[in-house]
A and B are shown apart, each in its own frame.
Chain A
Amino acid sequence: MPESATTVPSGAAEFWRQYPRFLARVLWEAFDGSRLFYAWMTLLTAVFLVGANAWAVQVRDGLAVTAMSDHVSWGLYIANFTFLVGLAAGGVMMVIPAYLYHDEEMHDVVIIGELLAVAAIVMAIMFVTVDLGRPDRFWHLIPPFGRFNFPVSMLTWDVLVLNGYLLLNLHICGYLLYMRFIGRKPNPKWYVPFVFLSIVWAISIHTVTAFLYCGLGGRPFWNTALLAPRFLASAFVSGPAFIIIAIQIVRRVIHSDFGEGPIRTLLNIMRVTILINLLMVGSEVFVEFYTGGSHTSAAHYLYFGLHGHNALVPWIWSSVVMTVIAAGLLLSPRAVADRRLLNLACVLAFAGIWIEKGMGLIIPGFIPSTLHEVVEYLPSVMEWKITAGIWALGFMIYTVAIKVTINVMGAGRRHFSVLPPEA
């Protein structure tokens, strides 16, 4: 053991012997735990099943069970997809301090962010899948049997970057956990390059997702160069907000006290990104309303309603209020010491951005329609069920992943790290 600790995993035979054991352990961890764990997983399973049932009905009867129409042809699913890509990209805000700036403490907990990326990407992909009219034809995307319209279609770029990001993070987390499982020191050659790649990749997933929308000349509300930067800024709010809360939950569950430094770092990041996000939203709003004209009717619809239609107005103003309050709380010096204040700020920021980048971004792209007709959209019950189901599945994946990580690393550890201390 000692002499192999610094080397690359030795031999295929060793790997084939150990890897199934590793997988079995992961599986075991997923189905065994405390009463609290069972209760939580049962709840999530129940919600997931409600969603799965709704999806099965939707597949059978068609997307007519949603509230979407030929005017508003994307809805809650694509709104969640967009938000979740941002959440996945947001995890990178732990990776950058940890690896680029050698923040030791962040290094210890960085896997919380990487696993979040995995869960969020899985959810994002599921949201796209449930939005498809013909999921049975998914193989049409996959060459050589399918036809992949690359590089012309931005959607093909998105397929590549999302799956690439998923694989990258699965590899990084999986490798580190596996090494820990077999008691060896991970070889930096096998993960550090991937970590750096994942930093660039995180930016790319959200940029490409923004390009999906802002490249469409027929939709003036989306057709702005500011969309990708805005996406990134808001992603770097929602990601850290989620992680700050996740860290606190994990350490309460395992009775530990790690992560104080990382929480501060993330708080400092959010203090900047939430202001950048507000600034960008503000400049968009200025351009729209000061310029006027028919290209701004979508913004009018969103913020004030149009021709007596105002379904989104309560949503967007809730978002504005939540984000502004969150910004105020985060900027307050008391946010560092007062955990309740910080948590409230994180929840508000997370919810505010979920609305702004979800319903607040996707729906006004379709209202008014390209023929300037106003046909409103509010998600149907089926859409809410399916959406809740996917979120439940995401939480299941994240819970299991975190649990595996904790337990593989060994109980009772004060530290949480799957990584060796930096050399």
Chain B
Amino acid sequence: MPQELSINPQAMRGWNRAVGGGSVRHRNRVSKLSTTTWTVAVAAVVAVAGGMAFAQKSKAPAQAAGEIPRVASAAPLHPVTIQRPAGPPRVNTGTTNFHGQAVTVACGTCHATTQPNARTHTSAELDQFHQGLKYAHGELNCLSCHNATNYDTLRLADGRSVEFADVMTLCGQCHGSQLRDYQHGAHGGMTGYWDLSRGPRTRNNCVNCHDPHSPKYPLARPVFPPRDRISVPVKAAAANH
């Protein structure tokens, strides 16, 4: 399970095949030739043959040309890079140093000496640090995700630790449908190439857009309102010459 859940750029294609590649699965079953799958296979073959005949008859050229061997799968694919958090966050101490810069400390600096409290689930319950942290994430408490034995890592539901950089593994435990959509390119912003045989792609991770403590997507002010009437001054065209 962890293998599949970890967000590994090179595995993107693999997911697509595992979920979307129905034809691949069929072929494997037929090779086993078990009696139950035999009937399924025959039905599939008939259906495919019938479908192809129909496609020919209804002369859908695009569809007929559709399943040609893809050039893309032969060429080496460029990577899909998922942006990751730089590492464990640092906490502002509220003081500044000699140069006027804020002094921050690693989580472990304080938490190494403080006693973890499994019941805490908002910063309001704390008397120091993390004040004002907005929390709205279901019924979770801090230690649902933060690792009480090593605060510079996160904690999976089964108790194993996971690096901050691999936060998506953590989120994906509960938000399975979002992770599934993400894995298939149907959730989360991206830039770069749709065709990985021609260039790479960069993708956001969960916490690029969702504050982990208050994950609801924030309200935004819409940009670029439409204009309905032509507001171009008439004389402008003449002035261009």
Determine direct contact between A and B, CB below 8 Å. yes
Q: Tell me the A residues contacting B by CB distance below 8 Å.
A: 60-62, 64-65, 69, 71, 373, 375
9 tightest A-B CB contacts, nearest first: A64-B230, A61-B237, A375-B228, A61-B234, A64-B232, A65-B234, A69-B229, A69-B228, A62-B237
Nearest B residue to A57 via CB reads B234
Interface of A: prevailing SS: loop
Give the distance in Å from the alpha carbon of A61 to the alpha carbon of B234 in the complex. 6
B228–A60 CB distance below 8 A: no
Minimum C-beta distance from A115 to chain B (A):
38
Task: Tell me how many residues of B have a C-beta within 8 Å of chain A.
Answer: 9
Complex interface: chain A residues within 8 A of B118 (CB):
none
Give the distance in Å from the alpha carbon of A396 to the alpha carbon of B219 in the complex. 64
Give B219-235 as 1s and 0s: 1 = Cβ < 8 Å from A's Cβ atoms.
00000000011101011
Complex interface: chain A residues within 8 A of B235 (CB):
61
Give the distance in Å from the alpha carbon of A388 to the alpha carbon of B230 in the complex. 24
Q: Tell me the B residues contacting A by CB distance below 8 Å.
A: 228-230, 232, 234-238
A64–B234 CB distance below 8 A: yes
Minimum C-beta distance from B4 to chain A (A):
43
B229–A60 CB distance below 8 A: no
Complex interface: chain B residues within 8 A of A69 (CB):
228-230
A–B complex contacts, Cβ < 8 Å, 16 sampled: A60-B237, A60-B238, A61-B234, A61-B235, A61-B236, A61-B238, A62-B237, A64-B230, A64-B232, A64-B234, A69-B228, A69-B229, A69-B230, A71-B228, A373-B228, A375-B229
Nearest A residue to B229 via CB reads A69
Give the distance in Å from the alpha carbon of A373 to the alpha carbon of B227 in the complex. 12
Minimum C-beta distance from B231 to chain A (A):
9
Minimum C-beta distance from A196 to chain B (A):
43
Complex interface: chain A residues within 8 A of B229 (CB):
69, 375
Give the distance in Å from the alpha carbon of A60 to the alpha carbon of B236 in the complex. 11
Give the distance in Å from the alpha carbon of A250 to the alpha carbon of B236 in the complex. 48
Complex interface: chain B residues within 8 A of A373 (CB):
228
Give the distance in Å from the alpha carbon of A69 to the alpha carbon of B232 in the complex. 12
Nearest A residue to B233 via CB reads A64
| Other 17 A-B pairs with CB < 8 A, given A61-B234, A61-B236 | A60-B237, A60-B238, A61-B235, A61-B237, A61-B238, A62-B237, A64-B230, A64-B232, A64-B234, A65-B234, A69-B228, A69-B229, A69-B230, A71-B228, A373-B228, A375-B228, A375-B229
Nearest A residue to B227 via CB reads A69
Q: B228, B232, B235, B236 — which one has the most chain A CB atoms within 10 A of its CB?
A: B228
Complex interface: chain A residues within 8 A of B232 (CB):
64
